Amino acid sequence: MLKKVLLVVMCVALLGTMVVGCSAPASEDSASVTSSDASAAVETAKESVEPKADGERIKIGVNFFNYTMPLAQDLKRMIDSAAEALDCDVEYAANDFEDEKVVTGIENLFASGCDAVIVCNTAEGQIPKALKVAEQYDGKVFQFFRTLNEEEVKDAAFSSPYYGGQVHEDEMQVGYNMGKIVNDKGCKNVGIINYNHGDLTAETRYEGYMKAFEEFGINVVAETWEVATGEQGTQVTENYLASYPEMDALVVVGGGGENLIGAMSALQKADKTDDIVLVSTDFTDTLIEDMESGTLDAMSGGHWCDPFFSFMLAYNSVAGAEWAQEPVEIAMDMIYVTSAEEAKQYDEWFRGDILPYTAEEIQQLSITHNPSLTKDEFIETAQSLSLQDVMERHADLKE
Amino acid sequence: MKNKVKSLVLLLGLLVATYLVFFILQPTRFGSAESLFILLQQCLLPSIAACGFYFVLTMGLFDFSIGANIILSALVACMLSVQFGFVGLVIGAILVGTLVGVANGFLYLKFKIPSIIATVGLMIIYECVASYLAGGNSYVLAEEYRILGQAPWNIIIAVIAFAIAMFIIKFTRTGIYIKAIGKNEPMAQNMGVNVSKYKVIGFILCGFFTGITALLTICYSSTVIPVQGMSSMSRNFTPIMGCFIGLAFKKYVNPVISIIIGEFIIAMIISGIMTNGLDSTLQNTIIGVILLVIVAAMGLKNKGKAEVVK
């Protein structure tokens, strides 16, 4: 008897799934789209996305890597603050840096009623798929931390009404600036530790470093990629110290911080923190102590405001800002810290009780509160973000 | 006896050959006493984990949760060190590692599913638990406790761990029964060996040694950041490779010794590739090829009398 009941329940469930599946927007197309049919994806999308009517509540989706990384927590804190200031809804989906979760995350966010989704994608090929999904739900996709390098994908995206734009760092410039700092510190023989081959950020930032090293005549004595964990960071640094006694600088190009902590541990163990200049990107939680002890000599980071501007771009686009109906590209710079004093200032002005943008400043960046806001003003605000900028804007708030 | 000597010569020959190849290519960069001592210390971590994994693998089982266990145990140890100092650090790492082993063993038995599937599922759970515990914060071990990750302390701890592993394998009923189960499980059962019990013990031993690895890992690199999405899997491979080498030579050489030599060879290859300026992505390819060659060579050697690895 129990088996029969179970059978009936399963049949009903199966039928129900079929009905729901058939009535949902055709999603199988999106699963089969590749970067090469990006143009085709756009050709089918002739109509523009309708802005939200006055009084309707706006909901923005955020597809990011996870909830646990310090960078993720900072960006979430900033976006939550923006959503509160603008009285709109925000929903998050973590993709864990997994390719398939990026597109399914976007699909789930649109399915849950988001008007636009901002995404930190893991590969360019996901964008045409994401645009297909956006088309089905009549929404828009915006990128943060990422850019589009492949001409075909970029052209297709920028001509799509479902692509809102991108806010990213100029990683080439970041690498170059950090390489210049290495030169300014008087170093001539550099060891490099990097994250994964194929990671666009790691590759582009590395190119920036190499450009600077070539220009300033700095010799790269050794480089190792695919270094992600703390142990690997320690091991590679130990090997460098043993094999390249002439090394006077170590660059940890990126990788989320764990490999950097491992490298710092190796330098401390070998008592080489005074002899070797260590520079990296992505601020650590112990930035002040590391700068004070001399283990770290220069860092770039604090780029968690990118997703905030991507979020604001999405909000303005959905709210009907004319200038935000076409894709907008904003290249921002990182915050550079070269002393313990600057590290303290960053901690105080960026990560303290008052965020880099107050509720009033956030509202001034939205057309719902500031109808005269222009695209140029918006981009200028984003690009002028720096330690100095925040210190000047919030000087009176700290008193 | 003749085979034993041959195998030992083969293993040591591989070690010397690896050293010579890289030393000839880069005599000024590779192979100094200082760098060999560093490599020796580096190979201790995966060697200890491999010793634990050996107890599971020798019975034809698998444990994919080693990497996640290392992260979880190291994280808890780091957190406990804040409250309880050295005691919290040491006990925390070993206790959590062992408890994970207990959970692996019992859940494997309870669900009666292949160990690979069970431990993959558990790996995902342990990753999530570690992420939840960390709550988005990165924990860095205080400088005064990192001493255990440096010579001579890391070597002393490793030698104690190796001695325990050797003793269990050679001189205890557990070691003998585990070996018997690996050779022929039905026969061991017919002989009265409680197979289920010793499988659980195998997982517990694996967890215990993983806990020791976690202790040295957090002291060595000073931080462990939780990961998700099975990213901890990459931590499994070096211990697994060492363990395969141990298993390949176990007939003639004490597996603990072959594991240490195997891991030392791997450490030399990684360092050698780096000093020759080769792309680091080659590392895994070369290590994989060498592993296949060693295991295949041992397979050919034992053809006809080889044990079945389930």
Among A95-99, B37-41, B63-67, B82-86, whose mean pLDDT is lowest?
A95-99
Out of B34, B229, B281, the one facing A197 most closely (by C-beta) is: B281
Amino acid at B27: P
- A143, A134 contact by CB (below 8 A): no
Q: Which CATH superfamily is domain A186-296 in?
A: Response regulator (3.40.50.2300)
The residue of chain B nearest to residue A95, with distances taken between CA atoms, is B229
- A298, A279 contact by CB (below 8 A): yes
| Subunit contact A243:B220, Cβ cutoff 8 A | no
| Subunit contact B222:A265, Cβ cutoff 8 A | yes
| Subunit contact A96:B228, Cβ cutoff 8 A | yes
β partners of residue A301? A335
Q: How far is CA A163 from the centre of its chain?
A: 17
**Start and end residues for every CATH 3.40.50.2300 domain found in chain A:** 55-170+304-335+347-355+362-386, 186-296
B136 touches chain A (CB under 8 A): yes
B150 touches chain A (CB under 8 A): yes
Amino acid at B173: R
Site from B222, B275, B285, B287 to mutate, A interface, most A CB atoms within 10 angstroms: B222
Q: Give counts: helices (H), strands (E), chain B.
A: 11, 0
- Overall pTM > 0.80: no
| Subunit contact B30:A284, Cβ cutoff 8 A | no
- Write the class of the CATH domain A55-170+304-335+347-355+362-386: alpha beta
| Dihedral sign from CA coordinates of A148, A150, A155, A161 | negative
B285 touches chain A (CB under 8 A): no
**SS3 assignment for A259-290:** HHHHHHHHHHHCCCCCCCEEEEECCCCCHHHH
A interface toward B at CB cutoff 8 Å?
66-70, 72-73, 96-98, 101, 197, 222-231, 233-236, 238-240, 242-244, 256-258, 261-262, 264-265, 268-269, 284-286
Q: What percent of chain B has pLDDT over 70?
A: 93
Element (H, E) at A127: helix A126-137
Distance from CA of B190 to the nearest CA of A (A): 38
Query: CB under 8 Å to B140, separation ≥6 — which residues?
Result: A261, A285, A286, B78, B222, B223
Buried b (16+ CB within 10 A) or exposed e, B68-88: bbbbbbbbbbbbbbeeeeeeb
| Subunit contact A235:B134, Cβ cutoff 8 A | no
* Structure confidence by residue, pLDDT tens digits, B121-153: 999 999 999 988 987 677 889 988 999 998 899
* Structure confidence by residue, pLDDT tens digits, B81-111: 999 999 999 999 999 999 999 999 999 998 8
Cβ atoms < 10 Å from Cβ of B109? 17
Per-residue DSSP letters for B137-162?
A: PPPB--GGGGGGGSTTHHHHHHHHHH
Distance from CA of B215 to the nearest CA of A (A): 12
pLDDT tens track, chain A, 399 positions: 545 554 555 545 544 544 444 444 433 333 333 334 444 444 444 456 666 666 789 999 999 987 777 778 889 999 999 999 999 999 999 887 777 788 999 999 999 999 999 999 888 888 999 999 999 999 999 999 988 888 889 999 999 999 999 999 888 999 999 999 999 999 999 999 998 887 778 888 999 999 999 999 999 999 999 888 888 999 999 999 999 999 999 999 987 778 899 999 999 999 999 999 999 998 887 889 999 999 999 999 888 899 999 999 999 999 999 999 999 999 998 999 999 999 999 999 998 888 999 999 999 999 999 999 999 999 999 999 999 999 999 988 876
pLDDT at position B302 is: 56
Distance from CA of A71 to the nearest CA of B (A): 9
